[in-house]
Structure 1
Amino acid sequence: MDAAGPLTKEKYQPTILGHMGVLVAKSRNEWAQVITESFVPLSLGSASGSFRGSVRSSALGSAATLSEVRTHGPSVVLRSARLVRVEPRDDYLFSLHLYGEGAVFQDGRQARLPCGGGALYDTARPYELRFPTDTRQLVLQMSREQLHDRVGRVEDMRGRALPGDHPTVRVLAACLRELADTSDDLTGGQRAELGLTALDLMATALRAVAGAGSGVPAGRGALLAMMQAFVREHLAEPWLTPEVIARHHRVSLRYTVDLFATDGTSPAAFIRAERLRTAHRILVDPRYATLTVSAAAARCGFSDRTTFTRAFVRAYGRTPAELRRDVAALSADS
């Protein structure tokens, strides 16, 4: 990769290779601009005098962006409280570490980045990335809404390491590596589909690692988490009601209502919200483009299309058919 000259307003332009944008920096000052341009507003805490780096990014539809980051020389990258305040962003980043040493610091947690593993961090909160050596990593950038739809309380996983030897992390890592290697040969529609697949694998890895770790909530929190998982597993079932949730977990309906209230909702509202989120995901997913709106509603437990449409409009401000048309128009434009 050719090195770029000193950055100026006129010269600071990405090198375009197909749909891929490549930004190259050969100094610490250039690197601060490159990482801000590529991800979110960031600052450089420190970097070696001979520092060089590059970011090669690929848009995976509207769902996510995948970037390959290479650095030569130690560096510290910061998203300070001030930047969070004056330059707010609402994405999550997952760094898959492929070479060198690194660590993520967020919310008082330190996650070492083992080769083949990674860590999730939240751009709406301050964080620090430390790289004492040359590095190579893949960074998956995704919206909060996309990840929350799939995981729920993803906040519990920010600043935590995902070990490279965990089976689900290995599958996720293999997917991201292949996407980085082949993305320039894919059509826009294929990249969008595979971007959604990458998000699904990201959610699976997060749930699996959270369930296997020592941070699993205990007592009432654990029971609520089990109830929420039960709802997500049975969304398509018309018999899913607050009474069924209580009976399945051998507690009273009153206790079930109290548990959900601690999370700011009710069992019925949680069921409805999860069904609508899942329906929204299906309707914007090109993999389900041939599925009718009625079939999508049925997959999420709505037996009546009129009821589904009214609830969908209240939640998203437009009908399912309008959403489908908007998504199709965006895909055609890209």
Structure 2
Amino acid sequence: MRAPACEQRSFSRAYGDIELVTRTDPASWRGSLRLLHLGVLQVASEETDAVEVVRTTRDTTADGRTHLFVRLQLEGAALVFQDGRRARLHPGNLVFYDAGRPFSVVLPEAQRARVLMVPRPLLRLGEAELRRITAKVVDDTTDSPAALLMPLLDGLVREIDAVAPPAREGLARAVADLLAALAADRSTGTEAAGTGPSAATGQAAMLDRVKATIDARLAEPELSPGVLAAEHGISLRYLHKLFQEQGTTVGGWIRRRRLEACRAELARPSAADRTIAAVAARWGFASPTHFSHAFRKAYGVSPAQFRGQRPSG
């Protein structure tokens, strides 16, 4: 049986299209989710009765979300299934799982967790490496960098909840760096950090951070190269250089990501009653006319034609 519709919508808005399946009376099921938007990542404080969280292939196709989940179990147990593996979590454990592929999270009892949603670029791993880290328990009992990094990560995540909003962005970046180190350790089984990044590695890391900020702030019409440079403490010239070396521009990348977000939403059956102008505005396009022109140029059809091509049902 599905959990109550209001909780279903709340969890889907945060995590992407998912289904909450409960074996008890849905009317008596309780679950809550509090979401913090922290620029480069989002942190959900989750508290539920027993339930199963399911994301199917159809769900991944419908909303197109591809971030990584990082689940920090605080109370109760959890079972995470993905890529043919099963991870059993107890309080203090962590696991990565991928929104871009089907997964199931079985919560057999009342539980609390923090779930971080991390843009893929921040982990600085290829697709094959990302697949190696999903549904594998990370804890601080093994003789590896995780033994040092896990307590630091736990402290930073708890601190984010307590500090004033202006200080949260810096903590969020620190959390993202720790997660990247943990992911690298899990993907290789070797030391993640080394003695220090090269200049090329530093540039790649900065570009990843800027791209992650763009993804997190697409809905803001005022997002611009100047805003991004100031937020990351770099010069406008250096910011433009980072994107030029990738064969694009800052503005071009922002436009591309907005168009991809609009296209994914227009393809979702659940967004069928939302006007094209509303979809455009939701993803930062100030002018519906400009959006329609950019969409046609990118995809060869107008937004209305694209929506009309979507299979019904």
With normalisation by structure 1, the TM-score equals 0.59
Change in 2 beyond 3 A, CA 1:285/1:82: same
Contact 1:151 1:207 in 2 (8 A): no
Change in 2 beyond 3 A, CA 1:281/1:211: closer
Q: CA deviation at 1:287?
A: 7.6
Contact 1:64 1:142 in 2 (8 A): yes
The answer for the alignment partner of 1:255 in structure 2 is: none
3-state DSSP of counterpart to 1:128: strand
The answer for the alignment partner of 1:186 in structure 2 is: 165
Structure 2 spans left out of the alignment, 5+ residues: 142-146, 211-227, 255-313
The answer for the alignment partner of 2:101 in structure 1 is: 125
Change in 2 beyond 3 A, CA 1:143/1:112: same
3-state DSSP of counterpart to 2:22: strand
3-state DSSP of counterpart to 2:16: coil
Q: CA deviation at 1:52?
A: 0.1
How does 1:231-270 map onto structure 2 within 5 Å? 233=196, 235-236=198-199
Structure 1 spans left out of the alignment, 5+ residues: 1-26, 217-225, 237-270, 298-307, 324-334
The answer for the alignment partner of 2:44 in structure 1 is: 67
Q: Measure the CA separation in 2 of the matches of 1:287 and 1:51.
A: 42
Q: CA deviation at 1:198?
A: 0.9
Confirm whether residue 53 of structure 1 aligns to residue 38 of structure 2: no
Q: Measure the CA separation in 2 of the matches of 1:278 and 1:79.
A: 30
The answer for the alignment partner of 1:277 in structure 2 is: 204
The answer for the alignment partner of 1:265 in structure 2 is: none
3-state DSSP of counterpart to 1:41: coil
Contact 2:35 2:43 in 1 (8 A): yes
Over the aligned positions, Cα root-mean-square deviation in angstroms equals 3.5
Q: CA deviation at 1:118?
A: 1.4
The answer for the alignment partner of 1:162 in structure 2 is: 138
The answer for the alignment partner of 1:327 in structure 2 is: none
Q: CA deviation at 1:80?
A: 0.8
Contact 1:106 1:126 in 2 (8 A): yes
Q: Measure the CA separation in 1 of the matches of 2:244 and 2:128.
A: 22
Q: Measure the CA separation in 2 of the matches of 1:229 and 1:38.
A: 31
Q: CA deviation at 1:29?
A: 3.4
Contact 2:181 2:193 in 1 (8 A): no
The answer for the alignment partner of 1:9 in structure 2 is: none
Q: 2:123 aligns with which of 147, 152, 166?
A: 147
Change in 2 beyond 3 A, CA 1:134/1:37: same
Q: CA deviation at 1:194?
A: 1.6
Number of residue pairs the alignment of both structures matches: 228
Change in 2 beyond 3 A, CA 1:229/1:204: closer
Contact 1:106 1:158 in 2 (8 A): yes
Task: Look at both structures and tell me which one has the larger radius of gyration over its CA atoms.
Answer: 1
Q: CA deviation at 1:177?
A: 1.8
The answer for the alignment partner of 1:83 in structure 2 is: 59
Q: Measure the CA separation in 2 of the matches of 1:275 and 1:174.
A: 25
Identical amino acids, percent of aligned pairs = 21
How does 1:174-323 map onto structure 2 within 5 Å? 174-180=155-161, 182-183=162-163, 185-187=164-166, 190-212=167-189, 233=196, 235-236=198-199, 274=201, 276-281=203-208, 289=233, 291-292=234-235, 309=241, 312-315=243-246, 317-318=248-249
Contact 1:66 1:141 in 2 (8 A): yes
Change in 2 beyond 3 A, CA 1:312/1:81: closer
With normalisation by structure 2, the TM-score equals 0.62
- The amino acid of 1:235's aligned partner reads S
